[in-house]
Every structure is written in C-alpha cells, then in structure tokens.
Structure 1
Amino acid sequence: MDEQKLRSQGWFGRKGKDGFIYRAWMKKQGIPAHAFDGRPIIGICNTWSELTPCNSHFRELAEHVKRGVYEAGGYPVEFPVLSLGETLMKPTAMLFRNLASMDVEEAIRANPLDGVVLLCGCDKTTPSLVMGACSVDLPTIVVSGGPMLTGRHRGKRISTSDIWRFSEAQRAGHMDDMEMTLAEAGMCRSDGHCAVMGTASTMACMVEALGISLPGNAAIPAPDAARKIIAQQSGSEIVKMVKADRKLSDILTPAAFENAIMVNAAIGGSTNFVIHLLAIAGRIGVPLALEDLDRLSASIPLIANLQPSGSYFMEDLYYAGGLPAIINKLLPQLHKECIGANGRTVAENFGTADCYDPDIITSTDKPFSTMSGVIVLKGNLCEQGAVIKPSAASAQLMKHTGKAVVFEDIEDYNARIDDPALEVDETSLLVLKNVGPKGYPGMPEVGNMGLPAKLLAKGVTDMIRISDGRMSGTGFGTVVLHVAPEAAEGGTLAIVRSGDEITLDVRGRLLHLHVSDEEIAARKKALPPAQPIAARGYVRLYQSHVQGAHLGADLDFLRGGSGSEVTRDSH
C-alpha cells in the first residue's frame, strides 16, 4: 500500500494545528517522531481483565504481538475494550456480546489505525471482537489465548465438562463438599480457556477455519511457548496485510463460511457456533441461514475424539497435529481456493499438515462418529428452527415421544426440579421457557438443565430437554436449544403445558407438539400480555432491538457495516 493511503496518515500526516495535536499528545508517552513517518499503525485490541480469568495472560501476549509489529516495520498501539468473563458475568455474558462488539467497532473506527490484532479467548470475546471488526472492515487478524492445561484430580484427567457430572453426582449424594473442593482445586491448572471443545475452543477453531488467524492458532495451549511465537508472527503478518490491503471482507467470503461450518462438524464444536457465526455473517454481509449449517454439516462425520463428544482434550489435539491436521483430512470437501490472513490458500496452508495420533484425529472414511455437526430441527414447536448437537446426545433418545414437564422460567425450574412431588419420569421431556434472547434477557446457558433429583437417584443420566436458551459448549446430553420464535415473543413454546406430548425425531429434523393448530391458536390468543422490557440502559436497548436466535441474536441496527471512514473532525 502507498504510504500516502495509510488511514493513520489522516491523523499523523497532517500539517498545522490538527497534526500538531495528534502527534504531540502521542509523543508524551515517549514515542519518537519516526513512529509517525508513514509506517502502519497497528491496533492491538485487548480483552485482558482480571474478571475474565481465561484472558488473564493477555498483557504478556500483547507484548509478543508488539515484537512482531516492530519486526515488520509497523508501530503497535494497545487499547482495551469491554471484556466478557463467561463464568462471572450476570445475568449472562451473552447479554453483553453485542455491547462489546459496539465498543470494538467504534474504538477501531474512531482511532488512527491501519490494521488490527484481536486478542480474544473466553467464549464471547472472540465473536464480539470479530463482529465489531467486521463492521469496520480493516485488515484484521485474530490471536487466540489458547486452552488451559488439562485438569487433574485423584489421578484422573478432568475438565470443565466434568463440572456437569460432578454436580449431578453431588445432587445424587455420591459426591460430598470436600470431594467437590478437591476437584475444584485441580480443575484449572494454568492460564487459558476451557480445556475441551467447548465454546471458547470452538471459537478459536472457527477463526482458524475462516482464515482470519494464522494456521495452527486454535489448539496451542496458553502456557506453551508456541503461543507466544504465533502471537509474534501474527504481529508481523498484520503489517503485511495492511501493505497488501487484505481486509476482512477479502477473507470472509461465502465459501470461507462454508468451510468453517464443515470444520465445526468435524470437530464436534459447540452449538454456540451457530449463533455466533450467523451474527458474524450478518455483519460482513454474507447471506447465511440456519438451514445452511444443517445442509453443510450433514455430509461431514466427526473425526475429532474430543470432550464433551469424545475422550481427549485440546492439549491432546495440539500434540496430535492441531486443527491443521483436521483441515487436511477435510480438504476434498472444502473450498481449497479460499485465502487466509497470510494470503495463502487453504490448500497451501493445510495441504501438508500431518496427524500424529489417529486415536485423537481419525479420518473421514473411518470417523469417530457419523453423527456430527449441528442438526437444525423444524416443526410446529420451532417454526423458525431449533438446534441439537447429536454427537453429545444419547442414541436411545434421538427419536422419542413423551409428555412435557414444563417450567415457565428459570426461577420456576430452580424451585421445583428437586421436588419429590414433581410429576416426572425418565420418559418425560423437560421444557424450559423464557430463557431466550429477549425473555431472560440475554439467552443464558441453562438449556442443559440438571435432571430431577429423584431420577438421578434411580440412575437416570439423560433426558430430552427443550428450551429457547443456550448450552455451554462444555455441556452434553440430548438437549434441544435456540427454539425460535422464543416464548417471550409468543412462539409456540410459550403455550406448551405439562402433560402435552412432544416428539423429537433428530434424523427426521422434527420437533412436534401434539396439539392441534386450532388449540395452539386458541392458547396463543389467551396468553397474558408480554412482560415489559427493562426501564433503562443497555438492557432496554437490547430487548428493544435483539433479533431471534435463528438470525444470530444480534441487534437489528448493527447488521451490516458502517465502514472505516470518520466523517467529522473534532479540531
């Protein structure tokens, strides 16, 4: 790129009062004059926060990115944006994903940046940063924080997926408080996000499959020296991207999204992949529908033996060859001509990647499982769709008809789930309403409801669960999620009553309520008025403008982009 066309020169290349102010105030940080001589200014968008433990090592990671930027002849400037800590934020981090994306979008556009490095790790930090960057569309590369080392407890390897097992064991009386405390102490042994193919790892794989990170980015453990090296390499690469004017819109083509969907099926990625990918597509302007994810996943088997669908951990995946080895095995199905951040095609980036452990990374002709990806359900209970992750479900429940046990909201569920008088058995379907984007608000990860205590005591380990909410990527079970329209919007879910029969047929892509159309219409007509939305602040804005899960739960006015142009000067 010609130096005169650098976006940052609109600030630092000016003569007179304005240029004086821009340069002088930057120089007060000890920055020499030659930093403003026309070299690319690279923003490092950092989600470091002590309230986001997954990203607690990002200060150090940013320093390695800076080394790479300097090495390639750019000048790095680090800036903070809203950080979303999945484990701590209430009512749910998902409520604030769109807010963080607005922070990122405006921070990038408003400042003298030529290219951006996104530092993200914890679940919502990746999609929120990518969404915001897409709306500005500058040269951008992602550096993920990496998974933590695998946990240890009493000689066994454990991870965040075991939280759900430990919780059920404690509720069933098989695990006491002391044992829980000991397991808790061994769960998180290092920096990094969840050690399984949960949402954070899925998001890291998503950006690598899309091509907006360097090959190998997804699986390197956070404490591994290779994580620092790829951060430095990414710092160098973003300078090259600026000089080549390689923007997000050049990489995030419809074919790139199709590749990401197929890779997600092969790795057994989180159901949250669906809602985040749809939102990203909406920002960059790529047409993508819920049905596309089902269609593109259907022919791709599960070839990664990773928890929660399998046995191994992200650390093991890295040693086995990482995501490049998986993509290599999928090359016949993928769009090999798509380019990545480094300007090379998928075939060039992954064509020679090796697999070092066939137990962890199998092959498409001898897969770990033929049930993969995300299956999209339709029916009178989910006219706009619902999703299920078949690789995490129980085979005997994939086609099942039973009676609904209905909880009107999460408070109702918490109050009654362990009541000995609850009318429920192992053939029942648990139905949870009003945990969707508008209804909760924010669409929390409560879809994989804990089972009734009296059934846990009998040894029941899975039941069909249906809701308009989400599930943690570390979770598992026969769980139907993202039911749309949601209950708070007057969807059919809102009128389901305990005792109603429901059929789930996963292979048939069907979720059906056995109630006549006339009865459904009558029940909807009798629904009480919708609950009022929040009185003020961001939550009011969110509830007023959030779209359904089938569209990615973005705010309606944020879809598309606003570009990188700044239309007004302050001086």
Structure 2
Amino acid sequence: MITKERRYRSWEVVEGIDRGGPRAHLKNIGLLPEEMKKPFIGIVNTYSEMHPGHFHLNELVKYVKDGIYAAGGIPFEFGTIAICDGFSQANKGMCYVLPSREVIADSIEVMVEAQRFDGLVLVGGCDKIVPALLMAAARLDLPAIVVTGGPMLPGRYGGREWATYELKEAAGRLKCGLLTQEELEEMEDCLSPVAGSCAMMGTANTMSIVAEVLGMTLPGCATAHAVEGKKRRLAKASGYRIVELVNAGFKPSSILTREAFFNAIRVAMAVGGSTNCLLHIPAIAYELGIEITLDDFEKISSSTPYLAKIKPSGPYTLKDLEDAGGVPALMKELGPLLDGSQQTVSGLTIGQIAAAAKNKNPEVIRCISRAYSPQGSLAILKGNLAPRGSVVKQTAVMPSMLRHQGPARVFNSEEEANAAILGGYINPGDVIVIRYEGPKGGPGMREMLTATSYLVGMGLEDVALVTDGRFSGATRGPVVGHVSPEAACGGLIGLVEDGDQILIDIPGRKLELLVPEEEINRRRANWRPPRPKVNKGYLWRYIHLVSSADEGAILKI
C-alpha cells in the first residue's frame, strides 16, 4: 500500500488496499511505486496531422513532459479534437466548428474528473481550441497552465510577406482576370510555409493573446512562433511551472477575475483582434459565473487606442509583433489603461511583466500618443435590426464606408450569396444580407469569410454585408456580423426584403432597417419559423441548447 500526504487528488486513484487495480495498471505502463507519490499532471494535446496549426504539438508536448519530470511530477498525455476552420469554409463542415468548442471543453472535463489529475497543461492552437482550453481550465478550477502552439511564419510571394487568408481574396482576383491560375497555384505553394496558426491577427492569435493577458500562459507565449526555440523553452518552462502551481494550491479562479477579462479585451482591441473574441471571452467568463456583455466590449473598445496594425487590418505580421516585443511590450504601451495588479501563472503581475518589457519597434507597436486611432478594433452596433447588438471590425473599414446606406440584397445562406457575388449580380452600394446562419439557424454560426474575401478580391469594396452569422478574424471591410436576435429566432433580419434600405452607421453605432413600423408588423404576422436544417446528431442537440451570439453562443440547459 502506498502511503503519502493526502495533498494530491490522485491519491483517490492509487492509495489504499482497494486500489490495487489502478496501481497494477500504472506499473504496467512503466511507473515505479515511488512515482505514484508524485503529482499526476494531465497534458491535453490537441495534435492533429491534418493541419499546420496542430501538426507540431507532439514535439512541444515532449518539452512539457521534460519540464514536468524535472520539477518532480508525472505527466500523462491525452488528446481531444481540433478542427481547422480553413478546411470548413463555405461548406457544411463549418456548421461544426463553433460547436466543437463545447465538445473540446466537455471532453477535457470528463477525462480530468474521471482520472483525478492534480494539474493540467493544455497545449493547443487555432480558433476554437484555445477558447475551449481556457473554458475547461476555468470550469475545472484545478492548477492549470496553457501553452499556445504559436503562429506560423508568414509566407513570401512576389517579394513580400503574405498570409493564407489572402488566397481567398486572390480567388476573387482570378475571377476578375486580375490573376492567372498559374499565379494562384504558385501562391498556394508559398503562403503556408511551416507549422503554426495562420500568420495574421485572426481568431487563433487573438485568443492566444487573450490567454496570455488573462495570465494563463507564461509571458511571451502568444507570439512565440511555432518553429522557434523560444516556443520549446516556454513549453518546458510551463511543464516545470505546473508542478509548482499544484504544490502551491493554485486555482485559475484566483486570477481569472472580471478585471483580468477587461484587461484581455483591452489588449485585443489595441491589436485589432478578431470579432470572434465576442463569442469566446464571454463563454470563458461564464464558466466562472462572470457576465461579460457586448456593452462591456463597446465601453472598453471605445476607450482603447489602436496601437498595432497586424494583418489583415494592416501591413505587419505576427512575426513583426513578436520581434517588437510581443504582448508584454504592447501592455507596456497601454500602461495605466490596464489593471497592473492582476496576477498570472508566472507568479508575476501584469504590471510587473509590462514594466520589464521593451518596445523594440515603436512603429509596429505604437505609443498612445501616436495611436492609429483613439478607438479599438471592434464596434458594437445596435438598432431595430440588431436590438441586442452586432459587431464590426471598424479598424478594417475604409473611411468612406464607415457610414453607408444602400439597398438590401437578401440571401438565406452563404452559398446563395457566394453564387451571386461570383456571378456578377451584386451592384456597387448594395448591402448583402445573409441570414439563417446564426447559432441556431446555421446551425453553428458559420463564418462568412468566403463571401467577404470575394468582395475584396473582386474590388467590391463599396458593398456592405450584414449577417447573423460570424466572420473569420481574417475578414476586412464594411461587414457586420453576430446580428442578434438571429433570423431563426424571429429577429428582424429574417423580415428584410430585397430593395429595403439599410443604414450602417459605425461612428453612430447604428444598424437600422429603414422600413415603416406598420410594414414590419405586417411582415412579422406572416413570418413562420423555418424548419431546422438538421434533425439528428450533435447539431440537433446543439440547436436546442445554444444561446444567442450576444451571450457567447454558450450551451444552456
């Protein structure tokens, strides 16, 4: 029988005369009796050999294990799913991408609670995976640390640096005869050069930055690139640190405070973060009983200077941001706008990390006095078309389109809209409306990246788009998403007809359908809820449990 101090959860598995079976199993896989006295650390490895965002994680996990062993812990690796959004664009697969967030968080909870781990290192990258890891850590409230997989290096083509989202825009140029098929294929060979998440301020890198500012990673982790030695060192250091956190009795809830979430939102707004953080940050906070609303985003964004123009909103890459000093340097420039007293898994406060940082390129990370804009990346629009809110990445909109009024062109799916755009049926000044793509109606709130990329690639930059679906972090232009309530739940977007005038006023924070109230009432009386697009499987359950986009599209019973 093993005897030890009962300070680790894992004693429930290995201690006592009636625990001979588990001890035998552990000996079978190579553990020595004395190792069963040490803390058991679960390593969540979201490795997948199908896409570069997770292709390299097995290597990182080896370094995590080395750190755990060195600190006196015993690592146990297990996996979960990891979807690449890029494979799912403009097809049924995208219906599963946002819902996968809940599957990942649930699967981690089930494994950790069943196997009684003492602590966790959560290793992953890409859009829904990082939020899911943070949700699981918050829900379990066990000692935990996140290791984000890191961005890929930018691709090079034609003498400049590119990111993969530009391939979709290139498809639009090909359609217009501005690019040859051979040139497109050459770009394909160049724009995803190494392992890592896409080299842009998309959702993956936005949420990695959020994880770092929340204090759930070691300093510098978010922008340490996947192929760099720095990332391997951070992985090993994270493995070492988790054992210290277990022995100290650390809980994520001690650092994941409301103020920490506000810090994370502010940094995301300063760096041109993805609209998808409006879904993920409230979902993480929900696990802790903290409510984060769209009004919180609006208040913080409107008072946050825009300091770093990273692709797709500007010319700089994630490598430029890393070389300039990464998240610590950005926090240093934000200075008193952040709550520097917030703690992190490193043992340092946000203020201490920022104070020790150096901005190595003041053009990539500007100071407040030289900000690109006095406001952050996202703006929350409300009005009769979105009484509970909608979102636009205002920093990626041309000044001439910040206020736009035009006739609606209505489509009930992304596929219909894509066909119309490629077919040349969209006119300058139109407002494309894509509906029945929300959390319930999609189902799964698909991204409209293909549609928005076609618009940019075909030069239709004076065309706006409004949807109850969502966008990739790569999206740019006068496009408004997350319209709430969605069409499938009776939202006004479901009553828009071709030719209706729609007003998008980003400075005024308005999204309005300019139709008389009597006419709206007439249409509403004739509206009937659509039949769900699926009638079995996970998405059927998802439709019945998922909340509105303005609440984070979380699952509620």
TM-score category, normalised to shorter length: over 0.9
Q: Please state how far the C-alpha of 1:16 moved relative to its aligned partner.
A: 1.4
Deviates more, 1:532-541 or 1:332-341: 532-541
For 1:145, the equivalent position in structure 2 comes to 149
Q: Is the 1:447–1:479 Cα contact (8 Å) retained in structure 2?
A: no
Give CA deviations for 1:142-176 in whole Å, capped at 9, x if unaligned: 10111111101122211123223312211211112
Which structure 2 segments of 5+ residues have no match? none
Equivalent residue, structure 2, for 1:563 = none
Partner of 2:395: 391
Q: State the secondary structure of the residue aligned to 2:142.
A: coil
Aligned counterparts of 1:556 and 1:144: Cα–Cα separation in 2: 28
- Alignment partner, residue 162 of structure 1: 166
CA deviations over 1:237-295 (Å, ceiling 9, x no partner): 11111111111111110000000011011110111111111111111211211110110
Residue of structure 1 in register with 2:372 after alignment: 368
Secondary structure of the residue aligned to 1:417 is helix
Show the 5 A alignment for 1:354-433.
354-420=358-424, 422=425, 424-433=426-435
Where structure 1 has 5 or more consecutive residues not aligned to the other structure, the ranges are 558-571
Q: How does 1:59-74 map to 2 (within 5 A)?
A: 59-74=58-73
Matched ranges for 1:101-140 at <5 A: 101-140=105-144
Alpha-carbon offset, residue 194 of structure 1: 0.7
Task: Identify the residue that residue 47 of structure 2 maps to in structure 1.
Answer: 48
Q: Which residue of 2 aligns with 1:560?
A: none
**One-letter identity of the residue aligned with 1:271:** T
User: 1:448–1:479: 8 Å Cα contact kept in structure 2?
Assistant: no
* Identity in percent: 37
Q: Is the 8 A contact 1:394 1:462 kept in 2?
A: no
8 Å Cα contact 1:153/1:186 also seen in 2: yes
- 1:445-484 C-alpha deviation (Å, 9 max, x unpaired): 116724888x976x53342110011111122111101001
Normalising to structure 2: TM-score of the pair? 0.95
Equivalent residue of 2:422, what SS?
coil
Asked if 1:543 is matched to 2:543, the reply is yes
Superposed counterparts of 1:228-307, under 5 Å: 228-307=232-311
1:386 aligns to what SS in structure 2? strand
> How far apart in 2 are the matches of 1:452 and 1:79?
40
SS in 2 for 1:427: coil
Q: Give the partner amino acid of 1:335.
A: D
CA distance, structure 2, for counterparts of residue 224 and residue 35 of structure 1: 32
Equivalent residue for 2:325, pick from 321, 332, 344: 321
1:211 correspondence with 2:215: yes
1:191, 1:223 within 8 Å by CA — same for their partners in 2? Answer: yes
SS at match of 1:449: helix
Match of 1:174?
Answer: 178
**Structure 2 equivalent of residue 32 of structure 1:** 32
How far apart are 1:4 and its partner, in Å? 1.2
Taking a change above 3 Å as real, the CA distance of residues 493 and 200 of structure 1, as seen in their structure-2 partners, is same
CA contact (8 A) 1:52 1:83 kept: no
Q: 1:271 to 1:122 in 2, by over 3 A?
A: same
Question: In structure 2, what is the Cα distance between the partners aligned to 1:242 and 1:135?
Answer: 17
Secondary structure, aligned partner of 1:351: helix
Shift in Å at residue 498 of structure 1?
0.8
| C-alpha contact (below 8 Å) 1:42/1:115 kept by paired residues | yes
- CA distance in 1 between partners of 2:523 and 2:63 (Å): 60
Q: Which residue of 1 aligns with 2:437?
A: 435
Call closer, same or farther: CA 1:451–1:151 in 2, change over 3 Å: closer
Which amino acid is the alignment partner of residue 171 of structure 1?
K
- CA separation of 1:407 and 1:111: change in aligned 2, threshold 3 A: same
Among residues 433, 448, 451, which one is paired with 1:446 in the alignment?
A: 448
Given the alignment of the two structures, is residue 528 of structure 1 paired with residue 533 of structure 2, yes or no?
no
* 1:529 Cα deviation from its structure 2 partner: 3.5
In the superposition, relative to structure 1, how do residues 446 and 369 fare at CA in structure 2: closer, same or farther (>3 Å)? same
Task: State the SS of the aligned residue for 1:534.
Answer: coil
The aligned counterpart of 2:16 is 15
What's the offset of the Cα at 1:382?
0.5
Report the residue type matching 2:496 in the other structure: V
Instruction: Give CA deviations for 1:531-571 in whole Å, capped at 9, x if unaligned.
Output: 135322211110111111001111113xxxxxxxxxxxxxx
Instruction: Quote the Cα distance in structure 1 between the aligned partners of 2:473 and 2:274.
Output: 4
Q: Which amino acid aligns with 2:491?
A: G
**CA distance change for structure 1 residues 22 and 175 in 2, over 3 Å: closer, same or farther?**
same
What is the SS of the residue equivalent to 1:404?
A: strand
Residue identity opposite 2:68 in structure 1: V
- State the alpha-carbon separation in 2 of the partners of residues 32 and 548 from structure 1: 50
Question: Secondary structure at 2:278's aligned position in 1?
Answer: helix
Cα distance between partner residues in 2 of 1:369 and 1:448: 28
Cα pair distance change 1:156/1:257, threshold 3 Å? same
Paired with 1:336 and 1:448, the residues of 2 have a C-alpha distance of 40
Partner of 1:311: 315
Once the two structures are superposed, residues 199-220 of structure 1 have per-residue CA deviations (whole angstroms, 9 ceiling, x without a partner) of 1110110100111111100101
Query: Partner letter of residue 162 of structure 1?
Result: E
> Residues 239 and 108 from structure 1, CA distance in 2 versus in 1: closer, same or farther, beyond 3 angstroms?
same
**Residue 301 of structure 2 contacts residue 375 of structure 2 at CA under 8 Å; is this kept in 1?**
no
**Distance in 2 between residues matched to 1:112 and 1:310, nearest whole Å:** 46
Q: Distance in 2 between matches of 1:133 and 1:350?
A: 24
Per mean C-alpha deviation after superposition, the further-off stretch among 215-224 and 25-34 is 25-34
Confirm or deny: 8 A CA contact 1:305 1:359 kept in the other structure. no
Tell which deviates more after alignment, 407-416 or 355-364.
407-416
SS for the counterpart of 1:55 is coil
Hey, what's the Cα distance between the residues in 2 that align with 1:209 and 1:417? 39
Within 5 Å, which residues of 2 pair with 1:439-518?
439-446=441-448, 449-450=451-452, 459-518=459-518
Paired residue total: 549
Contact 1:447 1:466 in 2 (8 A): no
| Distance in 2, Cα, partners of 1:456 & 1:554 | 34
Distance 1:258 1:87, change over 3 A: same
Distance 2:417 2:485 in 1: 21
Moved more, 520-529 or 371-380: 520-529
Q: Check 1:447–1:491 CA distance in 2 against 1; reply closer, same or farther (3 A cut).
A: farther
CA distance in 2, matches of 1:415, 1:115: 50
1:533–1:544 contact (8 Å) kept in structure 2: no
Provide the rounded CA distance (Å) in 1 between the counterparts of 2:167 and 2:433. Answer: 22
CA RMSD of aligned residues (A): 1.7
